[in-house]
Structure 1
Amino acid sequence: MDKGGRLLLPSKCCVHSPGSLTVWYIWFYVYIQRWNVYLETQRQMQIETGISDFRVLFAYLKALIPHGIYQSTKRNCQVEYVNVDPNNILCVYDLELVNQDYNYLSSFIWANDKTVQSALHVAEGSIKVWVRCNHRLRNSYSYDVSSSVGYHRNFTTKGYRVLIYR
Structure 2
Amino acid sequence: MSADGFTRMSIYGINLDLFSSSPIVILKVEGENRYLPIWIGQAEARSILMKLQNQEFSRPLTHDLAASLVSELGGSMERITVTELKDSTFFATIHLQIDGRAVEVDSRPSDAIAIAVRTGAAIFAADDVIEEAAVEFQDQEALEEAPEDEVVDKFKDWMNRVSPEDFK
Q: Is TM more than 0.5 here?
A: no
| Greater RCO structure (CA 8 Å; 6+ sep) | 2
Which has the larger share of helix?
A: 1
Which has the larger share of strand?
A: 2
TM-score interval (norm. to shorter): under 0.3
TM-score by length of 2: 0.24
TM-score by length of 1: 0.24
**Quick check: which has more Rg, 1 or 2?**
1
